[in-house]
Structure 1
Amino acid sequence: MRTPDRDQRGPAFAALCTALVIVLAVIPAAAALSADYAVLPNGSTYRAVIEVTDISRYEFADVGFMGESVPVQVADVQLSGDCSPCKYNWSRSWGAPSSIEFEKGNYTVSYLAPLHDNNLQGTFTQPYHVNVTIPQEFDVRNPLLAGISQGANVTRYADNTTTVQWNKTVMFNVRFYDPGQEEILWFFLQFMGILVLVLVIIPYILSMKKIE
């Protein structure tokens, strides 16, 4: 009596596998939204170009230390999509992040925002392909000065510009540095090396000679 049961489960299992293949084929297409960030040469501002889908409101906010929404002061906000021009209305509640409202649909939101402490981060409600372009005035290769969240692919080009990319992530963080910071770091390391030599290594050698 069990053999017929197995025969019935075979087609059902095959149908389930087919359904999973179809679902997996559809999900990447639905999750292939992109977010591009370009740090400007002075390092104090960045341009964001973010794809959004099936929404009617976009909020300009960052994530605070405790996970709270922190307002971001933006400028040169642009909305593009299947409309020309794409119209939106501002919504600014006291103490809350500002936002724009528009007809529900799929769009690309672009804006300028300030950058603090050479650190750029972002969070999303669904997986995004994230691309951060860093100008030649900055670098991310020194792990003592830079910080990059997991899953990133870093590319340094011949013109000394850098791109940092994440594939399907819901959050990212990148901290970069300038040549002046790297010089200060090497000076500090050299100074610490001299201190160790004078205060530890030389006294140890002298004490060993006395013992002999």
Structure 2
Amino acid sequence: MRTPNRDRRGPAFAALCAALVILLAAIPAAAALSAEYVVLPNGTTYRAAIDVTDVSRYEFAEIGIMGENVPLQVADVQLTVNGSAYQYNWSRPWGAPSSIEFPKGNYTISYLAPLRNNNLQATFTRPYQVNVTLPQEFAVSNPLLAGISQGANITRQTDNTTIVQWNKTAGFNVRFYDPWHEELLWFFLQFMGILVLILVIIPYMLSFKKAE
């Protein structure tokens, strides 16, 4: 007896779905770009490694106070594809961010840049997988001293380095601190506690006793 066509639709649909899942898994995700930032031990410099796709130019800029692009001073710039270095041409217009130009394609751009006030931030034109690595002398666990943009996953490694990660973000901010700043904070809190005791609590207690 021949099976009606409608009875074979279920297995055929399941096979089509399975083939589609396999096909999608084989296609790289469009949003799978990554940006790696490593803060160096002195806390005044960081190394960045940023993936770019289908571009022929990259501009080195950071965010200014008013949200404008401010020239970023970079060094040791490298343009690579799967670990192989490629040549590029510099463009250094006066008063504007410098940039590099190269044949259009997919690359990883790495560079060294200065870091000020223990604060690292960046914005992107599309979602990125961002990893920020802090050396062991810096931390982000104290909310009174640190500041991290939403969506971050924080991991303290066994070697006391800290990794801050975002899955898909168009921008991030990390403010970290060293032991000296943490000691200064506790000294300030203790000093304020003593002032409150002398100026508020003790006078209140004395006035309460006089009232009795």
Instruction: Report the TM-score range of the alignment, normalised by the length of the smaller protein.
Output: 0.7 to 0.9
User: SS state of the match for residue 131, structure 1?
Assistant: strand
- The total of aligned residue pairs comes to 192
Provide, for residues 90-118 of structure 1, a one-character-per-residue CA deviation record: whole Å limited to 9, x for no partner.
Answer: 00101000000000000000000000000
**Mapped partners of 1:91, 1:203: distance in 2:** 68
- 3-state SS in 1 of match to 2:80: strand
Partner of 1:116: 116
Q: How does 1:131-150 map to 2 (within 5 A)?
A: 131-150=131-150
Contact 2:78 2:85 in 1 (8 A): no
Aligned ranges for residues 78-93 of structure 1 at < 5 Å?
Answer: 78-81=78-81, 84-93=84-93
Distance 1:105 1:40, change over 3 A: same
Segments of 5+ residues of structure 1 without an aligned counterpart are 1-17
Amino acid in structure 1 at the alignment position of 2:206: L
Instruction: Give 2:151's aligned residue.
Output: 151
CA distance, structure 2, for counterparts of residue 193 and residue 82 of structure 1 = 57
Q: TM-score, normalised by structure 1?
A: 0.86
Q: Which residue is equivalent to 1:69?
A: 69
Comparing 27-36 with 168-177, which one deviates more in the overlay? 27-36
CA distance in 2, matches of 1:108, 1:66: 29
Cα distance in 1, alignment partners of residues 157 and 86 from structure 2 = 36
Cross-structure match for 2:175: 175
In structure 2, the partner of 1:38 is: 38
SS of 1:29's equivalent? coil
After superposition, residues 11-50 of structure 1 pair within 5 angstroms as: 29-50=29-50
How far is 1:160 from its partner?
Answer: 1.2
User: SS of 2:136's equivalent?
Assistant: coil
- Name the SS for the 1:111 alignment partner: strand
SS across alignment from 2:165: strand
CA distance in 2, matches of 1:103, 1:140: 40
The superposition leaves residues 13-41 of structure 1 with CA deviations (integer Å, 9 ceiling, x where unpaired) of: xxxxx9xx98xx68980010000000000
Give structure 2 stretches of 5+ with no counterpart.
1-16
Structure 2 length-normalised TM: 0.86
* Structural mapping, 1:91-110, within 5 Å: 91-110=91-110
Percent identity, aligned pairs only?
75
Structure 1 residue ranges, 4+ long, deviating more than 6 angstroms after superposition: none
RMSD: 1.9
- State the 1:65 CA deviation: 1.3
The superposition leaves residues 45-78 of structure 1 with CA deviations (integer Å, 9 ceiling, x where unpaired) of 0000000000000000001111100110000000
